[in-house]
Structure 1
């Protein structure tokens, strides 16, 4: 699939694109479901339909949660941001289970932000900070201090790969740690058995199946942008700036 994610006209014919009035919230606009995550059940309100595909929990969310539980030292003590948070379920799981310092982010859409806040309250945690941002646009924070970027199942829209890579590159290459002592205490990397996670790192789970040619466009694009891709197994990938052997990357 190579349609763009960020406009109604890219998902529908121009004459068929739904208007905000047609998408106004009604009792049928949302479906609240219970989902099993490792060690807990979460209540997640999902859109019955959302033109930006932020409506449902996708397979990578659950697979990624399992992987993270098995490799918890990779993220404990980190400051994280999730790209393409959708319902916010993964971030809510990590905050509730491990008190992870995490920020959610997704396309600049008020309904997405409000739904994540609703799901935080439904699962009895404080509302997680959220950043509205369209991939490829100027990032709201000019000096990002997230040392871990996470995402699951965000490679569906091939036309957005260049924009996604631009955002990932910015977050990794312009990383400025909020607390330098925290980085120095950890050494250069976080090591969990055979998994070595650099500071900073982009950690992605990809469970949706698309053609290998389309999938390779993303990974090849990362390499052309000066990013190194490493497959960690279980369709989890670690991406970092090429040559980043230090605990932080200079901008």
Structure 2
């Protein structure tokens, strides 16, 4: 773990900023630092939001899980469009407290959360049966090469006949093809449905 994150002298600094996703203005509280980059909104979310809006009718029929929710902006955006969305990230109290805070300042009481699916050390752990998700979404999660094998295991559990993934990747483009190749080698199909947005399914 980063020493800065552990030292008593470090105090988070929070700042509320306004973002526009799909024509919708959202207030998001971001903070100074997080060892897994879960502290700020990344620009790729705005492009992904446009794609999600284009597919809103489809999304309204799905049970959606977001991997790597970070500030929660995408989950909040979809919840405001009445999508059945569950947020997930590493099991870090600060992240989930911030998602709850951001939901409330945008008029949402709460967003369902799974705190242990996306974590560099926990990807790949068995999950409870019967989660029932039909669509997995994720934006800019391909940061850590060493987590890819565990992420593949998690997708192997989550993806099935009735579930697919939309992966938006606009940060760490250098790791993208490595992960997509691993998906194909594992037996998943990969299709680019929009520039840098990939649909991943089990064959």
Q: TM-score, normalised by structure 2?
A: 0.91
Does the Cα contact within 8 Å between 1:80 and 1:150 map onto a contact in 2? yes
- Structure 2 residue aligned with 1:125, among 102, 108, 127? 108
User: Is 1:71 matched with 2:55?
Assistant: yes
Residue 112 (structure 1) aligns with: 95
Residue 194 (structure 1) aligns with: none
User: Is 1:227 matched with 2:188?
Assistant: yes
User: Is 1:19 matched with 2:2?
Assistant: no
Stretches of structure 2 lacking an aligned partner (at least 5 in a row)? none
Structure 1 CA distance for aligned equivalents of residues 173 and 53 of structure 2: 26
Stretches of structure 1 lacking an aligned partner (at least 5 in a row)? 1-7, 176-198, 243-251
- Structure 1 residue aligned with 2:165, among 186, 202, 212? 202
Residue 166 (structure 1) aligns with: 153
Instruction: Quote the offset at 1:50 in angstroms.
Output: 1.2
**Cα distance, 1:110–1:137 mapped onto 2, change above 3 Å:** farther
Of 81-90 and 34-43, more deviation after overlay is shown by 34-43
Does the Cα contact within 8 Å between 1:87 and 1:116 map onto a contact in 2? yes
Residue 32 (structure 1) aligns with: 16
Residue 202 (structure 2) aligns with: 241
Residue 80 (structure 1) aligns with: 64
Structure 2 CA distance for aligned equivalents of residues 56 and 161 of structure 1: 22
**Cα distance, 1:20–1:144 mapped onto 2, change above 3 Å:** farther
Q: Secondary structure at the match of 2:184?
A: helix
Aligned residues: 199
Q: TM-score, normalised by structure 1?
A: 0.74
Q: 1:28-64: per-residue Cα shift (whole Å, max 9, x none)?
A: x211101111222100001111112101111221110
Of 65-74 and 124-133, more deviation after overlay is shown by 65-74
Instruction: Quote the offset at 1:18 in angstroms.
Output: 3.0
Structure 1 CA distance for aligned equivalents of residues 51 and 7 of structure 2: 38
Residue 62 (structure 1) aligns with: 46
Instruction: Supply the RMSD in Å over aligned alpha carbons.
Output: 1.7
Structure 1 CA distance for aligned equivalents of residues 172 and 35 of structure 2: 21
Structure 1 CA distance for aligned equivalents of residues 126 and 105 of structure 2: 29
Does the Cα contact within 8 Å between 2:60 and 2:84 map onto a contact in 1? no
